[in-house]
Structure 1
Amino acid sequence: MTQDDTAPAPLPPETVEALYARLAAALPEPRSELNYVNPYTLLIAVVLSAQATDKGVNKATAALFPVADTPQKMLSLGEDGLKAHIRTIGLFNSKAKNIIALSKTLVEHYGGQVPADREALEALPGVGRKTANVVLNVAFGLPTIAVDTHIFRVANRTGLAPGKTVRAVEDGLERITPETYRRHAHHWLILHGRYVCKARKPACPTCPVADLCGWPDKTAASG
Protein backbone atom coordinates (compact mmCIF):
# COMPACT_ATOMS: atom_id res chain seq x y z
CA MET A 1 0.00 0.00 0.00
CA THR A 2 1.14 3.51 -0.75
CA GLN A 3 -0.24 6.89 0.17
CA ASP A 4 -2.74 8.54 -2.17
CA ASP A 5 -1.14 11.60 -3.79
CA THR A 6 -4.31 13.59 -3.09
CA ALA A 7 -4.24 12.86 0.64
CA PRO A 8 -4.87 16.05 2.64
CA ALA A 9 -2.86 17.44 5.52
CA PRO A 10 -3.35 15.78 8.92
CA LEU A 11 -6.50 16.78 10.77
CA PRO A 12 -6.12 18.91 13.91
CA PRO A 13 -6.78 17.20 17.28
CA GLU A 14 -10.19 18.82 17.81
CA THR A 15 -11.36 17.56 14.41
CA VAL A 16 -10.06 14.07 15.14
CA GLU A 17 -12.01 14.08 18.41
CA ALA A 18 -15.19 15.20 16.62
CA LEU A 19 -14.76 12.57 13.90
CA TYR A 20 -14.48 9.71 16.37
CA ALA A 21 -17.34 11.09 18.44
CA ARG A 22 -19.66 10.91 15.44
CA LEU A 23 -18.57 7.40 14.48
CA ALA A 24 -19.06 6.30 18.08
CA ALA A 25 -22.51 7.88 18.27
CA ALA A 26 -23.59 6.06 15.10
CA LEU A 27 -22.29 2.68 16.31
CA PRO A 28 -21.58 2.60 20.06
CA GLU A 29 -20.58 -1.08 20.24
CA PRO A 30 -19.03 -2.15 16.92
CA ARG A 31 -18.22 -5.82 16.40
CA SER A 32 -16.06 -7.83 14.06
CA GLU A 33 -17.89 -9.15 11.01
CA LEU A 34 -15.92 -12.38 11.24
CA ASN A 35 -17.76 -15.15 13.06
CA TYR A 36 -15.89 -16.84 15.91
CA VAL A 37 -16.60 -18.59 19.21
CA ASN A 38 -13.36 -18.14 21.17
CA PRO A 39 -9.90 -16.56 20.79
CA TYR A 40 -8.61 -19.55 18.83
CA THR A 41 -11.39 -19.50 16.24
CA LEU A 42 -10.98 -15.73 15.95
CA LEU A 43 -7.28 -16.24 15.22
CA ILE A 44 -8.09 -18.83 12.56
CA ALA A 45 -10.76 -16.61 10.98
CA VAL A 46 -8.36 -13.68 10.77
CA VAL A 47 -5.63 -15.83 9.23
CA LEU A 48 -8.15 -17.07 6.66
CA SER A 49 -9.35 -13.55 5.89
CA ALA A 50 -6.08 -12.46 4.28
CA GLN A 51 -6.92 -11.65 0.64
CA ALA A 52 -10.44 -12.96 1.21
CA THR A 53 -13.78 -11.48 2.21
CA ASP A 54 -15.28 -11.86 5.68
CA LYS A 55 -18.40 -13.28 4.03
CA GLY A 56 -16.39 -15.97 2.28
CA VAL A 57 -14.51 -16.84 5.47
CA ASN A 58 -17.71 -17.06 7.50
CA LYS A 59 -19.23 -19.40 4.92
CA ALA A 60 -16.27 -21.76 5.22
CA THR A 61 -15.94 -21.62 9.00
CA ALA A 62 -19.66 -22.29 9.55
CA ALA A 63 -18.87 -25.97 8.99
CA LEU A 64 -15.26 -25.89 10.19
CA PHE A 65 -15.61 -24.46 13.69
CA PRO A 66 -18.19 -26.97 14.95
CA VAL A 67 -15.60 -29.72 14.42
CA ALA A 68 -12.38 -27.77 15.07
CA ASP A 69 -12.76 -25.00 17.64
CA THR A 70 -9.53 -25.76 19.53
CA PRO A 71 -5.94 -26.37 18.39
CA GLN A 72 -6.18 -29.99 19.50
CA LYS A 73 -9.28 -30.61 17.38
CA MET A 74 -7.69 -28.83 14.41
CA LEU A 75 -4.68 -31.13 14.61
CA SER A 76 -7.00 -34.12 14.76
CA LEU A 77 -8.78 -32.84 11.64
CA GLY A 78 -5.43 -32.66 9.86
CA GLU A 79 -4.24 -30.57 6.96
CA ASP A 80 -6.24 -32.46 4.34
CA GLY A 81 -9.39 -32.31 6.44
CA LEU A 82 -8.89 -28.59 6.93
CA LYS A 83 -8.37 -28.02 3.21
CA ALA A 84 -11.68 -29.70 2.50
CA HIS A 85 -13.40 -27.00 4.56
CA ILE A 86 -11.51 -23.97 3.27
CA ARG A 87 -10.83 -24.73 -0.39
CA THR A 88 -13.23 -21.95 -1.43
CA ILE A 89 -10.89 -19.39 0.20
CA GLY A 90 -7.94 -17.92 -1.65
CA LEU A 91 -4.48 -19.34 -0.87
CA PHE A 92 -6.13 -22.20 1.04
CA ASN A 93 -3.15 -24.53 0.65
CA SER A 94 -0.67 -22.22 2.36
CA LYS A 95 -3.26 -21.14 4.92
CA ALA A 96 -4.01 -24.75 5.84
CA LYS A 97 -0.31 -25.44 6.30
CA ASN A 98 0.11 -22.40 8.54
CA ILE A 99 -3.01 -23.15 10.59
CA ILE A 100 -1.87 -26.70 11.33
CA ALA A 101 1.61 -25.41 12.23
CA LEU A 102 0.33 -22.64 14.51
CA SER A 103 -2.11 -25.06 16.16
CA LYS A 104 0.80 -27.40 16.92
CA THR A 105 2.76 -24.49 18.43
CA LEU A 106 -0.21 -23.48 20.60
CA VAL A 107 -0.57 -27.03 21.92
CA GLU A 108 3.14 -27.56 22.53
CA HIS A 109 4.04 -24.17 24.01
CA TYR A 110 0.85 -22.50 25.27
CA GLY A 111 -1.32 -25.30 26.58
CA GLY A 112 -3.68 -24.94 23.65
CA GLN A 113 -4.45 -21.31 24.51
CA VAL A 114 -3.98 -18.22 22.36
CA PRO A 115 -1.43 -15.93 24.06
CA ALA A 116 -2.45 -12.32 24.73
CA ASP A 117 1.01 -11.18 23.73
CA ARG A 118 2.03 -9.49 20.47
CA GLU A 119 5.49 -11.04 20.21
CA ALA A 120 4.14 -14.53 20.82
CA LEU A 121 1.33 -14.07 18.31
CA GLU A 122 3.60 -12.70 15.58
CA ALA A 123 5.91 -15.68 16.03
CA LEU A 124 3.10 -18.05 15.01
CA PRO A 125 3.12 -19.32 11.39
CA GLY A 126 0.97 -17.15 9.12
CA VAL A 127 0.43 -14.45 11.75
CA GLY A 128 1.67 -10.93 11.04
CA ARG A 129 1.29 -7.63 12.84
CA LYS A 130 -2.18 -6.92 11.46
CA THR A 131 -3.54 -10.32 12.53
CA ALA A 132 -1.96 -9.97 15.96
CA ASN A 133 -3.52 -6.53 16.37
CA VAL A 134 -6.99 -7.83 15.50
CA VAL A 135 -6.71 -10.74 17.94
CA LEU A 136 -5.37 -8.53 20.75
CA ASN A 137 -8.18 -6.03 20.19
CA VAL A 138 -11.16 -8.31 19.61
CA ALA A 139 -10.29 -11.30 21.81
CA PHE A 140 -8.51 -9.54 24.65
CA GLY A 141 -9.88 -6.00 24.58
CA LEU A 142 -6.54 -4.27 24.08
CA PRO A 143 -6.58 -0.86 22.35
CA THR A 144 -4.64 -1.95 19.26
CA ILE A 145 -5.43 -0.62 15.79
CA ALA A 146 -4.97 -3.07 12.93
CA VAL A 147 -4.54 -1.35 9.57
CA ASP A 148 -6.02 -3.09 6.55
CA THR A 149 -6.74 -1.66 3.08
CA HIS A 150 -9.94 0.04 4.31
CA ILE A 151 -8.33 1.75 7.28
CA PHE A 152 -5.27 2.71 5.23
CA ARG A 153 -7.57 4.41 2.70
CA VAL A 154 -9.70 6.18 5.30
CA ALA A 155 -6.71 7.41 7.28
CA ASN A 156 -5.07 8.88 4.18
CA ARG A 157 -8.15 10.13 2.39
CA THR A 158 -9.64 11.97 5.34
CA GLY A 159 -6.38 13.29 6.73
CA LEU A 160 -6.93 11.38 9.95
CA ALA A 161 -3.47 9.81 9.87
CA PRO A 162 -1.76 10.15 6.48
CA GLY A 163 1.11 7.76 5.87
CA LYS A 164 2.96 6.10 3.02
CA THR A 165 3.04 2.66 4.64
CA VAL A 166 0.71 0.55 6.77
CA ARG A 167 3.02 0.89 9.77
CA ALA A 168 3.21 4.66 9.34
CA VAL A 169 -0.59 4.86 9.35
CA GLU A 170 -0.83 2.57 12.38
CA ASP A 171 1.69 4.67 14.28
CA GLY A 172 -0.15 7.84 13.27
CA LEU A 173 -3.48 6.47 14.46
CA GLU A 174 -1.89 5.38 17.73
CA ARG A 175 -0.65 8.93 18.26
CA ILE A 176 -3.79 10.87 17.36
CA THR A 177 -6.65 8.63 18.53
CA PRO A 178 -7.97 9.85 21.90
CA GLU A 179 -7.80 7.25 24.66
CA THR A 180 -11.60 7.23 24.93
CA TYR A 181 -11.89 5.87 21.41
CA ARG A 182 -8.88 3.56 21.19
CA ARG A 183 -10.76 0.37 22.12
CA HIS A 184 -13.13 0.52 19.13
CA ALA A 185 -11.18 2.71 16.68
CA HIS A 186 -10.22 -0.29 14.53
CA HIS A 187 -13.82 -1.34 13.98
CA TRP A 188 -15.22 2.15 13.44
CA LEU A 189 -12.63 2.87 10.77
CA ILE A 190 -12.81 -0.47 8.98
CA LEU A 191 -16.61 -0.40 8.82
CA HIS A 192 -16.55 3.22 7.66
CA GLY A 193 -14.14 2.27 4.90
CA ARG A 194 -16.08 -0.83 3.94
CA TYR A 195 -19.53 0.74 3.69
CA VAL A 196 -19.16 4.52 3.40
CA CYS A 197 -15.67 5.66 2.41
CA LYS A 198 -15.43 3.02 -0.31
CA ALA A 199 -12.51 2.87 -2.71
CA ARG A 200 -14.20 3.55 -6.03
CA LYS A 201 -17.20 5.64 -5.12
CA PRO A 202 -17.29 6.87 -1.53
CA ALA A 203 -20.72 7.84 -0.22
CA CYS A 204 -19.68 11.40 0.64
CA PRO A 205 -23.22 12.87 0.43
CA THR A 206 -24.42 10.60 3.24
CA CYS A 207 -21.15 10.37 5.19
CA PRO A 208 -21.56 11.39 8.86
CA VAL A 209 -18.11 12.99 8.93
CA ALA A 210 -17.99 14.55 5.45
CA ASP A 211 -17.65 18.10 6.80
CA LEU A 212 -14.68 17.03 8.94
CA CYS A 213 -12.90 15.16 6.16
CA GLY A 214 -10.08 16.93 4.33
CA TRP A 215 -10.35 14.99 1.05
CA PRO A 216 -10.64 17.49 -1.83
CA ASP A 217 -12.33 15.13 -4.30
CA LYS A 218 -15.57 14.32 -2.50
CA THR A 219 -18.29 12.70 -4.58
CA ALA A 220 -21.39 14.79 -5.22
CA ALA A 221 -24.97 13.77 -4.62
CA SER A 222 -26.50 12.08 -7.67
CA GLY A 223 -29.67 13.29 -9.22
Structure 2
Amino acid sequence: MPIAETELRYTDPYELIVAVILSAQCTDKRVNIITPLFFERFPTVDELSKATEEDVFSLISSCSYPNNKTKHLIGMARMLVNDFGGVIPDDVNALQKLPGVGRKTANVIASVAFNIPALAVDTHVHRVARRIGLT
Protein backbone atom coordinates (compact mmCIF):
# COMPACT_ATOMS: atom_id res chain seq x y z
CA MET A 1 0.00 0.00 0.00
CA PRO A 2 1.36 3.47 -0.83
CA ILE A 3 2.29 5.69 2.09
CA ALA A 4 -0.15 8.59 2.51
CA GLU A 5 1.60 11.87 3.15
CA THR A 6 0.67 15.51 3.53
CA GLU A 7 2.60 18.77 3.55
CA LEU A 8 0.63 19.89 6.58
CA ARG A 9 2.66 19.97 9.79
CA TYR A 10 1.09 18.09 12.69
CA THR A 11 2.10 15.84 15.58
CA ASP A 12 -1.09 13.91 16.32
CA PRO A 13 -4.61 13.25 14.95
CA TYR A 14 -6.02 16.34 16.71
CA GLU A 15 -3.51 18.65 15.03
CA LEU A 16 -4.07 16.92 11.70
CA ILE A 17 -7.86 17.28 11.76
CA VAL A 18 -7.56 20.98 12.62
CA ALA A 19 -5.00 21.51 9.85
CA VAL A 20 -7.09 19.64 7.27
CA ILE A 21 -10.21 21.65 8.15
CA LEU A 22 -8.18 24.85 7.79
CA SER A 23 -6.73 23.68 4.47
CA ALA A 24 -10.07 23.74 2.62
CA GLN A 25 -9.71 26.42 -0.09
CA CYS A 26 -6.42 27.47 1.54
CA THR A 27 -2.82 26.54 0.85
CA ASP A 28 -0.92 24.14 3.08
CA LYS A 29 1.77 26.82 3.32
CA ARG A 30 -0.71 29.29 4.84
CA VAL A 31 -2.10 26.63 7.20
CA ASN A 32 1.44 25.81 8.38
CA ILE A 33 1.90 29.51 9.21
CA ILE A 34 -1.35 29.61 11.21
CA THR A 35 -1.16 26.36 13.16
CA PRO A 36 1.87 26.91 15.46
CA LEU A 37 0.17 29.81 17.26
CA PHE A 38 -3.18 28.03 17.10
CA PHE A 39 -1.81 24.93 18.83
CA GLU A 40 0.10 27.04 21.34
CA ARG A 41 -3.25 28.58 22.37
CA PHE A 42 -5.33 25.39 21.94
CA PRO A 43 -2.95 22.45 22.50
CA THR A 44 -5.75 19.92 23.06
CA VAL A 45 -9.23 19.22 21.76
CA ASP A 46 -10.50 19.95 25.28
CA GLU A 47 -8.97 23.43 25.23
CA LEU A 48 -10.44 24.11 21.78
CA SER A 49 -13.88 22.96 22.96
CA LYS A 50 -13.84 25.79 25.54
CA ALA A 51 -12.76 28.45 23.04
CA THR A 52 -14.76 31.50 22.08
CA GLU A 53 -15.38 32.31 18.45
CA GLU A 54 -13.39 35.53 18.89
CA ASP A 55 -10.34 33.64 20.16
CA VAL A 56 -10.36 31.16 17.28
CA PHE A 57 -11.19 33.72 14.60
CA SER A 58 -8.30 35.97 15.65
CA LEU A 59 -5.86 33.11 15.07
CA ILE A 60 -7.23 31.89 11.72
CA SER A 61 -8.40 35.15 10.12
CA SER A 62 -5.69 34.98 7.44
CA CYS A 63 -7.14 31.68 6.23
CA SER A 64 -9.98 31.52 3.71
CA TYR A 65 -13.53 31.41 5.14
CA PRO A 66 -12.47 32.08 8.73
CA ASN A 67 -16.05 32.61 9.98
CA ASN A 68 -17.20 29.15 8.88
CA LYS A 69 -13.97 27.46 9.91
CA THR A 70 -14.19 29.05 13.36
CA LYS A 71 -17.65 27.57 13.89
CA HIS A 72 -16.59 24.20 12.47
CA LEU A 73 -13.47 23.94 14.63
CA ILE A 74 -15.27 24.78 17.87
CA GLY A 75 -18.23 22.55 16.99
CA MET A 76 -15.90 19.71 16.02
CA ALA A 77 -14.00 20.01 19.32
CA ARG A 78 -17.19 20.12 21.38
CA MET A 79 -18.60 17.06 19.63
CA LEU A 80 -15.33 15.19 20.10
CA VAL A 81 -15.36 15.96 23.83
CA ASN A 82 -19.07 15.26 24.33
CA ASP A 83 -19.59 12.29 22.01
CA PHE A 84 -16.16 10.69 21.53
CA GLY A 85 -14.44 11.21 24.88
CA GLY A 86 -12.05 13.75 23.36
CA VAL A 87 -10.57 11.15 21.00
CA ILE A 88 -10.40 11.55 17.22
CA PRO A 89 -12.23 8.53 15.78
CA ASP A 90 -10.47 6.43 13.15
CA ASP A 91 -13.73 5.50 11.40
CA VAL A 92 -14.59 7.49 8.24
CA ASN A 93 -18.33 7.45 9.00
CA ALA A 94 -17.78 8.68 12.57
CA LEU A 95 -15.41 11.38 11.34
CA GLN A 96 -18.02 12.65 8.88
CA LYS A 97 -20.40 13.37 11.77
CA LEU A 98 -18.04 16.09 12.98
CA PRO A 99 -18.73 19.70 11.93
CA GLY A 100 -16.48 20.73 9.05
CA VAL A 101 -15.57 17.15 8.15
CA GLY A 102 -16.81 15.80 4.83
CA ARG A 103 -15.84 12.61 3.05
CA LYS A 104 -12.56 13.98 1.67
CA THR A 105 -11.41 15.29 5.06
CA ALA A 106 -12.48 12.06 6.78
CA ASN A 107 -10.51 10.02 4.26
CA VAL A 108 -7.42 12.20 4.75
CA ILE A 109 -7.60 11.74 8.53
CA ALA A 110 -8.20 7.98 8.26
CA SER A 111 -5.37 7.41 5.79
CA VAL A 112 -2.75 9.82 7.13
CA ALA A 113 -3.35 9.69 10.90
CA PHE A 114 -4.46 6.08 11.22
CA ASN A 115 -2.95 4.39 8.14
CA ILE A 116 -6.37 3.09 7.11
CA PRO A 117 -6.82 2.59 3.37
CA ALA A 118 -8.94 5.53 2.23
CA LEU A 119 -8.79 7.64 -0.90
CA ALA A 120 -9.23 11.39 -0.52
CA VAL A 121 -10.72 12.66 -3.76
CA ASP A 122 -12.17 16.08 -4.41
CA THR A 123 -15.46 16.59 -6.24
CA HIS A 124 -13.76 17.32 -9.56
CA VAL A 125 -11.82 14.05 -9.60
CA HIS A 126 -14.95 12.16 -8.55
CA ARG A 127 -17.01 13.79 -11.32
CA VAL A 128 -14.42 13.04 -14.00
CA ALA A 129 -13.97 9.45 -12.78
CA ARG A 130 -17.71 8.88 -13.03
CA ARG A 131 -17.85 10.49 -16.46
CA ILE A 132 -15.17 8.20 -17.87
CA GLY A 133 -16.63 5.12 -16.20
CA LEU A 134 -14.16 4.51 -13.37
CA THR A 135 -16.86 4.41 -10.69
TM tier relative to shorter chain = 0.7 to 0.9
> How many residues were matched structurally?
134
Q: 1:145-185 CA deviation, whole Å, 9 max, x = no partner?
A: 10137x829xx6xxxxx3339xx86xx4xxxxxxxxxxxxx
The offset of 1:30, in angstroms, is 5.8
1:120 and 1:30 map into 2 onto residues whose CA distance is: 20
Larger fraction in helix: 2
Q: 1:106-144 CA deviation, whole Å, 9 max, x = no partner?
A: 001111110111111111111100000000000100111
1:102 equivalent in structure 2: 76
Shift in alpha-carbon separation, 1:72–1:92, aligned structure 2, 3 A: same
Identity of counterpart residues, as a percentage? 40
Q: 1:57 and 2:31 equivalent?
A: yes
Residue 41 of structure 1, aligned match among 15, 26, 46 = 15
Secondary structure in 1 matching 2:130: coil
2:125 equivalent in structure 1: 152
Q: Which runs of 5+ in 1 are unaligned?
A: 1-19, 157-161, 173-223
Higher relative contact order (CA 8 A, sep 6+): 1
The offset of 1:78, in angstroms, is 2.2
Which moved further from structure 2: 36-45 or 126-135? 36-45
8 Å contact kept, 2:51–2:74: no
TM-score of the two chains, using structure 1 as the length reference: 0.55
The offset of 1:66, in angstroms, is 2.1
Q: Which runs of 5+ in 2 are unaligned?
A: none
The offset of 1:77, in angstroms, is 3.3
Aligned-pair Cα RMSD in Å: 2.4
Q: 1:66 and 2:33 equivalent?
A: no
Q: Which has the larger radius of gyration?
A: 1
Amino acid at match of 1:117: D
Amino acid at match of 1:80: E
2:6 and 2:101 map into 1 onto residues whose CA distance is: 18
1:33 and 1:103 map into 2 onto residues whose CA distance is: 23
